[in-house]
Chains A and B, each alone.
Chain A
Amino acid sequence: MKRIDRDNRAVRRSRLGIKGKILLFLTAVIVPFTVLISILIYQNALRRSTYMSVKHAQDLVGNTEANLTSYLDELSLIPNECNYNYYIQEYLKDAIKQGKQESIPKDAENLHRYEMFSSTIETTLQERSDTTSIRIFGKNRQLLAKTIYPDEQDDEISVRDGWYRNAVAGYGDVYFCGPEDIRRSGSTTKKGSNLILSSMIRDSDDGSFLGVVRVDFNLNKIAEFMDNITIEDYEHIGLLNQEGKLIYEKHSGNNLLNEKMLAALQTCLQNGRWKNGFHQTELCGTQYHIVMTDIPMAGWTIVDLQPHAEIVRDARGSSLTIEIVVLLIFAAILILLNSLLNRIVNPIVELQRHMNMVTLDNDMPALPVDTQDELGMLVYNFNRMTNRINHLSAQLMEEQKKKRQYELQALQAQINPHFIYNTLDSIIWMAELQDPNVVPMTEALAKLMRISLSRGREFIPVADEMEQVRNYLVIQSMRYQDKFDYSVETAEDVRQLLTIKLIVQPLVENSIYHGIKEKEGKCHLDVRAFREGKDLVFLVRDDGLGMDEKTCASILTERSFHDKPKGKGNGIGVFNVNERIQLEYGKDYGVSYRSEVGKGTEARICIPCVEENKEVSL
């Protein structure tokens, strides 16, 4: 048993079971599969969120661009109007003709024209929240006309001023510049909120230069467009001018367009590699998604910045849910599979454990059959097989026992012919001497023979058994005259009890041959039968030679001790008596010896009390 267990454990350690194999295999398949699917989902999500963010940015930038373009179109109608206004044209022509140096018109007609056009401009100025002043500068950059409410600014212009040079170079096209710092007299300068629109006014007669109109406007309207845009938390949208300076920006707290970033962006814009549209690039060590669009009429650029990391985070967020679901599905599959496999493997394991326990030594209880499937059939068939084995082994045991009993009975039935010969010889000798004892001797022999046969029965009453012993002792006491006295006592209450026949006589024979015969002087031999509790006890006691402990112990264990008949005894032997008793009544019963050298031996047979007419069964 233990060895099998050890083997099994070794098997388990070195090789996986069916369940383990299947689960391992499936895990090996599923894990890469899950990883693959997760990667796919993540990539899709990334692509998707990139697509969405770019689309969003493009919509945003596109809308802003459209809004700003139409706004700038609208603004440019102010310088445009100067080109188409009769009064301005006439006033400026006059002014140039007179070499005008100052802004106040001199003659009445001039004044009227000045009034006419300034009223037009004035209305524009008042109606618009974004225009702060409209001024016209002449050829020598002198101020020719201005609105009545200009911002407090220098009317002096410098040769270097871009708005003037570019307006002249633009030949009537509008030119945008700024933002510029607004200088207010005496107070602090307000930074970068003033934009300039300038355009050349051309003579409608010959296209010659009349002046440059300069419109100053603030960020009110641009702010209105930009502030209405809804942007993501991490997004930054900025409006840059030709030089890459920030005109206006919108962000939700996360200012991406710091000065360093602006500089980097400027470099990218100015090296001309970037066209309108989407770019993914690294600026100042961070990956950005950038969508940009030009506003060609102003040379401005709208830039939308989104950090790549945020889009990745978005993608992660959206793919995580699906990934978790996939993982859960696979976990559920494994768990379900595990329980399914348990239902298959556990009965097999149970069966196998059961098989290990099957030996011929003990009976096997049947295994319960749980299912009607292949496994159920297997268990059922196994049960049938063990059942059959049990049955066969019981049968075999029975047969063995029977066989042994027959053997013993056969041995028992024999009376040593040598004994009979010796007895008969003694009888002949006694008859010749006309010894009166010849009759009891012969009678005893006859009785002995009769009880021995006892009509083939195996069980006889204790009284008969004791009678047999007495007859035997009669014969022996005559053969060995003066060698020993004997007494045979049978308790009244045991006389009718049944016993296996011929179990006491071999012990008596043993006592005579081994204890008494060799001893000098007269010995005593007592044979008694009595009840002791529930047991029936035969006691054979002599005061012969006795045995040492070793010999005493070996009587019952060594079959060969007296078994080799040397023509003495009837050949049954104490060992066989003991075996027979135990075969018949069980291990609790049998023969026991107590002996002391020089003092005598006591043999004791213990069997259960069995009433007559009751078959002994085990």
Chain B
Amino acid sequence: MRKLFIILVLCTLSLAGCGSSFEGEKISLSSEENISVKTDSGALQQPDRLSEEGVSSSVSAGEAGEEGQEDAQIVCGVCIASDQASYQVRLQKLMTEQAEVKNIRILWNYADWDPELQNSQIENMIERRVDALIISPVNSKSILESLKDASSVGIPVINLNMKVDAYSSVYIDTYVGASSSEEGVLAAELADILLPDGGKAAIIEGSAGTDPQIYRTQAFIDELRDKPEIQIEEILSANWDRKQAKTCAEELLQKYADLSLIYCQDNNMAAGAIEAVKRSGRSGKVYVIGIGEADEETVGLLKEGSLSGFIVQDPEFEAVSAINSADQLAKGRKIRPWIKNPVSILTADTIGDYQKPIPYL
């Protein structure tokens, strides 16, 4: 009898135990309340997009002020591909100047052409909840996941200089930079002007996998498809490096005795190629063309005649537009998807008329 009673009591207790364990999970069943079991849906939600330009929703202006000054200084994370590549170095310098003008604090990250490093740098910036991200990707496809993460927490992303690929571009707010295709097209036009009778051409490319490397070549080839008299003999990569470009050019000069044109994907590499051409003593026979800023050295080479022409792409436009865009986006404004850096052909004849493009805003 007593045993039975004890069993009964135990049964009751165990049942009551079950009861309380359910209650631990706490489901509120009232119709209007959300259930407290959380899914990850929050993380998947898109940041509040603005339907109209200029309407502010100040995504994280307040909370991102981690260093918390009174004037809520905008903090912008900048992740650029390298602190060595000349164009990237120029952009860094110009952005620093513009950031001072706009009173934006910049957190610098240099990926040193390492996609993994760049991803971790972007993730780090996202964790610090910067107000805007300016990214110049080392590879057009490598940063998709990081971009999604930034997009999911509502950090605006400015893609600078080297465009991400089509899939990744869904998650950027704007791209500030030139059209590499256009540059390729213009380079082809320039080649056509320089070689009206045709000839052999070679390409020295920048770092593989970047948007300029891909499209400056592809558009160039596409454009020249209609002009079979210009033959593209070889494509070499010099990783945006002057010395490597010089070595490549030496190799090309040695290989092709009748080489007429070397198309370098930036002016830095063009300068290297020019050195090689000069040394080989084939100046005037081999045209060198490049792409990039109309800086002192380039203009000098152009005037000297060793650089036959180049596609001018102004870093100041990009740097200033990027910082201005970051400023706008951090304030919750909406800007157009592509702030295109206008490019054009510059030759010794047209250099005098060159005017720098006016940056965005």
Contact = CB atoms under 8 A, between A and B. Distances in A.
Interface string B170-185: 1100010001011001
A154 interface: no
A69 B181 contact: no
Given A80-B170, A87-B181, A333-B8, A59 B39 contact: yes
Contact of A169 (B51, B166, B219): B51
A171 B52 contact: yes
A83 B338 CA distance: 7
B129 interface: no
B44 interface: yes
Interface string B303-347: 000000000000000000000000000000011111110100000
A116 B49 CA distance: 32
Contacts of B163: 84
Nearest to B25: A51
Interface stretch (B27-35, B64-72, B247-255, B283-291): B27-35
Interface string A263-283: 000000000010111111100
B350 to A, nearest CB: 20
A65 B337 contact: no
A54 B35 contact: yes
Given A44-B18, A48-B22, A169-B51, A275 B337 contact: no
B49 A40 contact: no
A202 interface: yes
Nearest to B40: A62
A84 B175 contact: yes
A202 B342 CA distance: 15
Contacts of A85: 181
B11 A329 contact: yes
Contact of B182 (A37, A86, A172): A86
Contacts of A80: 166, 169-170, 337
Contacts of A281: 31
A333 B335 CA distance: 78
B19 interface: yes
A277 B31 CA distance: 10
A37 B12 contact: yes
B193 interface: no
A84 B338 contact: yes
A428 interface: no
B355 interface: no
Contacts of A275: 34
B45 interface: yes
A488 interface: no
A347 B266 CA distance: 115
Nearest to A174: B170
Contacts of B22: 44, 47-48, 51
Interface residues of B, number: 52
Please classify the interface of chain A as helix (H, G, I), strand (E, B), loop, or mixed, using the class held by over half of its residues.
helix
Interface string B23-57: 10101011110110101110011101101110000
A297 interface: yes
A203 B16 CA distance: 69
A411 interface: no
Interface string A44-79: 100110110011001101100110010001101100
B4 interface: yes
A81 interface: yes
A527 B336 CA distance: 162
A85 B185 CA distance: 13
A203 B342 CA distance: 12
Contacts of A116: 222
Contacts of B52: 171
A586 interface: no
Contacts of B334: 171-172
Contacts of A69: 44, 46
A589 to B, nearest CB: 63
A336 B4 CA distance: 10
A62 B51 contact: no
A617 to B, nearest CB: 57
Interface residues of A, number: 60
A50 B35 CA distance: 11
B181 to A, nearest CB: 4
B1 interface: yes
Given A37-B12, A62-B39, A333-B4, A50 B340 contact: no
B101 interface: no
Contacts of A280: 29-31
A45 to B, nearest CB: 9
B25 A202 contact: no
Contacts of B107: none
Given A37-B15, A58-B35, A276 B41 contact: yes
Contacts of A77: 166-167, 169-170
B51 A173 contact: yes
Nearest to A116: B222
A76 B29 contact: no
A616 interface: no
Contacts of A41: 15
A393 B49 CA distance: 114
Contacts of B37: 51, 54-55, 58
B51 A205 contact: no
A73 B171 contact: yes
Contacts of B166: 77, 80-81, 84
Contacts of B342: 205
A277 B34 contact: yes
B35 A170 contact: no
B182 A54 contact: no
B132 to A, nearest CB: 18
Contact of A172 (B11, B48, B185, B337): B337
B18 to A, nearest CB: 6
Nearest to A58: B39
Contacts of A297: 46, 49
Contacts of A204: 179, 336-340
Contacts of B46: 69, 296-297
B337 to A, nearest CB: 4
Nearest to A124: B166
A83 B340 CA distance: 11
Interface centre among A116, A207, A296 (most CB of B within 10 A): A207
A50 B337 contact: no
A249 B52 CA distance: 33
A396 interface: no
Contacts of B185: 86
Interface in B187-239: 219, 222
A44 B14 CA distance: 13
Interface string B138-180: 0000000000000000000000000100110111000100010
A326 interface: yes
Contact of B19 (A40, A59, A66): A40
Nearest to A51: B27
A131 interface: no
A169 B51 CA distance: 7
Contacts of B53: 171
Given A33-B12, A66-B44, A73-B171, 5 more contacts: A47-B29, A51-B37, A89-B179, A204-B337, A278-B35
Interface of A: 33, 37, 40-41, 44, 47-48, 50-51, 54-55, 58-59, 61-62, 65-66, 69, 73-74, 76-77, 80-81, 83-87, 89-90, 116, 169-173, 202-205, 207, 273, 275-281, 293-294, 296-297, 326, 329, 333, 336-337, 340
Interface of B: 1, 4, 8, 11-12, 15-16, 18-19, 22-23, 25, 27, 29-32, 34-35, 37, 39-41, 44-46, 48-49, 51-53, 163, 166-167, 169-171, 175, 179, 181-182, 185, 219, 222, 334-340, 342
20 contacts: A37-B12, A40-B15, A44-B18, A62-B44, A74-B170, A85-B181, A86-B182, A169-B51, A171-B334, A173-B51, A202-B337, A204-B179, A204-B338, A207-B335, A277-B34, A280-B31, A281-B31, A294-B45, A297-B49, A326-B11
The 5 residue pairs across chains A and B that have the minimum distance between CB atoms: A204-B340, A277-B34, A207-B336, A204-B338, A86-B179
